[in-house]
Amino acid sequence: MSEGRIAARFAALARENRAGFIAYVMAGDPDPDTGLAILAGLPAAGADFIELGIPFSDPMADGPPIQRAALRALAAGMSLEGVFDLARRFRATDTTTPIILMGYLNPIVSLGYEAFAAKAAAAGVDGLIAVDCPPEEADPLADALDANGVDLVRLATPTTDDARLAIVARRTRGFVYYVSVAGVTGAKAAVAADVAPAVARVRAASGLPVAVGFGIRTPEQARSIARVADAAVVGSALVDAIAEAIAEGRDPAGGALKTAAALSEAVHTARELVA
């Protein structure tokens, strides 16, 4: 199999000695067309990867910002087929930025693992993060994704000890997503001093790049994480920018992309400033 978009992007970042910026947005938030405009604008705003949320009615690992984003997207008619459609339309204009879907298992179970993996691959999706599917339950899903060349990206957390880390690493592909705080998205702040040794541990166990997310909101936080991780993920702050723009009657796409640009600038220059 040829090198996928995720591996290619991490290899390029390593050559340039900079961290990647992963922008999380909820698919179809606040509506499918605006959602597509946001996706299309993210690479120019500095996103090295796009994490695309699959909206779910019961997002039990998400805080209020992403819960509300899911509700907006669902209310505007988004569905799993709609997510594939968005990815496909994005791919018509961008063939290199990796797309990693992130969501909960039930819509995927409902469609069926094989059908999901095949449709995701056909839509130009590169990876999947299934929040409520720990390694112990993941083999059938991992088989289907492997067969279609889609990476199953696993989560490691502050509660993952060394013994579990070996289990987490076993069938993870592309990169490992280190959840930097015990909690839901958008709630607590990550502390770079705690994150650095954890990232090193995960990198050693998996031999893969490590992205850090869940506790990063501001350019300052993103900069400090980008010094110790291979990539920094920001979600709730982007989603909040959309919500604020809607509340103030401004263009949601403009709001999200402006926030993304500020965050990506911080991530991309983080290591220069240290050196």
- Backbone φ and ψ for 90, nearest 5 degrees, come out as -65, -45
Max Cα-Cα span within the chain: 50
Amino acid 56 reads F
User: Which of 89, 164, 171, 271: binder of other proteins (CB under 8 A)?
Assistant: 164
Q: In the annotation, is 51 catalytic?
A: yes
User: Encoding tokens for residue 75?
Assistant: 């209310």
Task: Show the site string, 88-107: x = touches other proteins by CB under 8 A, - = not.
Answer: ----------------xxxx
Helix, strand or coil, per DSSP, at residue 57: coil
Among 57, 96, 200, 204, binds other proteins (CB under 8 A): 57
Closest CA to 215 of 236, 239, 242, 243: 236
Q: Which x/- pattern over 228-267 shows residues binding other proteins (rule: CB under 8 A)?
A: ----------------------------------------
Q: How far is the CB of 136 from other proteins (least distance, A)?
A: 6
Residue 31 binds other proteins (CB under 8 A): no
**CB-based burial label for 248 (10 Å; 0-12, 13-18, 19+):** exposed
**Per annotation, catalytic residue among 29, 48, 62, 151:** 62
When binding is defined by CB under 8 A, the residue of 37, 40, 76, 109 that contacts other proteins is 109
Name the segment binding other proteins (CB under 8 A); options: 13-21, 24-32, 159-167, 265-273: 159-167
User: Could you identify the residue written with the tokens 């709609």?
Assistant: 82
Q: Is 171 in the site for other proteins (CB under 8 A)?
A: no
Tell me how crowded residue 107 is: count the other CB atoms within 10 A of its CB: 17
- Using CB under 8 A as the binding rule, the residues of this chain from 119 to 158 that contact other proteins are 131-134, 136-137, 154-158
Q: Which residues of 114-150 are buried (b: 16+ CB within 10 A; e: fewer)?
A: eebbebbeebbbbbbbbbebebeebeebbebbeebeb
Q: Tell me how many residues contact other proteins (CB under 8 A).
A: 42
Among 34, 97, 160, 221, binds other proteins (CB under 8 A): 160
Q: Which is nearer to other proteins, 41 or 158 (CB)?
A: 158
Q: Which helix (H) or strand (E) segment is 162 a member of? A: helix 162-170
Confirm or reject binding of residue 110 to other proteins (CB under 8 A).
yes
Strand 49-53 versus strand 151-152 pairing type: unpaired
Q: Which residue in 51, 126, 230, 240 is the catalytic one?
A: 51
Cα gap 63→49, rounded to integer Å: 22
Please compute, for residue 236, the number of CA atoms within 13 A of its CA located in the half-sphere on the CB side.
20
Least distance between other proteins and beta carbon 177 (Å): 9
Q: What residues line the site for other proteins (CB under 8 A)? A: 56-61, 63, 67, 74, 79-81, 104-111, 131-134, 136-137, 154-161, 164, 168, 179, 182-184, 187-188
Residues annotated as catalytic are 51, 62
